[in-house]
Amino acid sequence: MTGTDKGPVVVTGAAGGIGLAYAHAFAKQGRLVAFCDRAERVVEVAEDAGGRASGALGVVMDVADELSVDAAFARIEEEFGMPSVLVNNAALFVDLPFSRWQDIDVETWDRVMAVNLRGPFLCARRALPGMERRGAGRIVNISSTTAHVGGHQRLHYAASKAGVIGFTRALAREVGAFGVTVNAVAPGSTQSEGVRERYPQDMLDRAVAARAIPRAAIPDDLVGAVLFLASDAASFITGQTIVVDGGHVFL
């Protein structure tokens, strides 16, 4: 099999929120899906999705840690075979406090970069050899519209997500000859459970008012773009970033 529409899928940051929506969407297509997350509850989440018998595998993985990534992919390959799709979704965002640039300490800066930028690199590096041998593969990186407009008091997050776009473009140049595409999705403000719990309503309302389509975004709004870029239908699209924000940022 050289296509990607039926091979195993790896989704990072899949214990909840947007990542869980991606993982569920692939599972509904009948795909084998590795739900990966640093949080140990990801194992229970995968069981709730049907477990191994239904093609859902929960794998504890810290994307910022090389050994953890290697061990997780080794398990996924043992259970499912070589992944044909990687969705690099894991990121630090909701739990980051709003901080002026001069108040961001080096430890926090480094941790954001480790998860949000090193993580996609480590996961892609581990997934790519199998994709290259297969002669096909899809990597979908999750960026953010903050990479385009800046993030108010979120300098570290905005910088990391801009880095994801650069990473996407550069990697796409290197692996296209092997039948592997690398693209990104840049969501706008999305009202996942964590965002609704932590953000004031007036801030969420302002995000809605700034859109051409003036309604709240939910995780399911992002699924279509990810499924498309992960499919064989997108085999001639690479190095691109699709903004999914209801018409706030126009590129």
Give tens-digit pLDDT for 208-231.
Answer: 999 999 999 999 999 999 999 999
Question: pLDDT tier at 6 (50, 70, 90 boundaries)?
Answer: confident
Q: Among 1-10, 182-191, 202-211, where is mean pLDDT lowest?
A: 1-10
- For 44, the token pair is 């229970």
pTM: 0.95
Question: pLDDT tier at 3 (50, 70, 90 boundaries)?
Answer: low
Packing angle, helices 106-113 and 155-175, rounded to 10: 30
Neighbour-count burial for 53-79, b at 16+ CB within 10 Å, e otherwise: eebbbbbbbbbbbeebbeebbebbbee
Decide if 120 contacts 170 (C-beta within 8 A): no
Look at 189 and 46; give whichever has higher pLDDT.
Answer: 46
Residues of the chain with pLDDT > 70, as a percent, come to 99
Decide if 59 contacts 52 (C-beta within 8 A): no
Sequential DSSP letters for the chain: ---SSSS-EEEES-SSHHHHHHHHHHHHTT--EEEEESSTHHHHHHHHTTTGGGTEEEEE--TT-HHHHHHHHHHHHHHH-S-SEEEE-----TTPPP--GGG--HHHHHHHHIIIIIHHHHHHHHHHHHHHHHT-EEEEEE--THHHH--TT-HHHHHHHHHHHHHHHHHHHHHGGGTEEEEEEEE-S---HHHHHHS-HHHHHHHHHTSSS-S---THHHHHHHHHHTSGGGTT--S-EEEESSSS---
Residue 54 scores a pLDDT above 80: yes
Residues of the chain with pLDDT > 90, as a percent, come to 83
Phi, psi dihedrals of residue 139, rounded to the nearest 5°: -115, 125
Domains observed in the chain: 9-244 (3.40.50.720)
The 10s digit of each residue's pLDDT in 156-171 is 999 999 999 999 999 9
Residue 1 scores a pLDDT above 50: no
The pLDDT, as a whole number, for residue 95 is 80
Decide if 180 contacts 128 (C-beta within 8 A): yes
Question: pLDDT tier at 198 (50, 70, 90 boundaries)?
Answer: confident
When the pLDDT of each residue in the chain is averaged and rounded to a whole number, the result is 94
Query: Residue 180 and residue 234: Cα distance in Å, rounded?
Result: 11
Q: What is the mean pLDDT of residues 135-160?
A: 93
Catalytic residue at 157?
A: yes
Catalytic option among 73, 80, 121, 157: 157
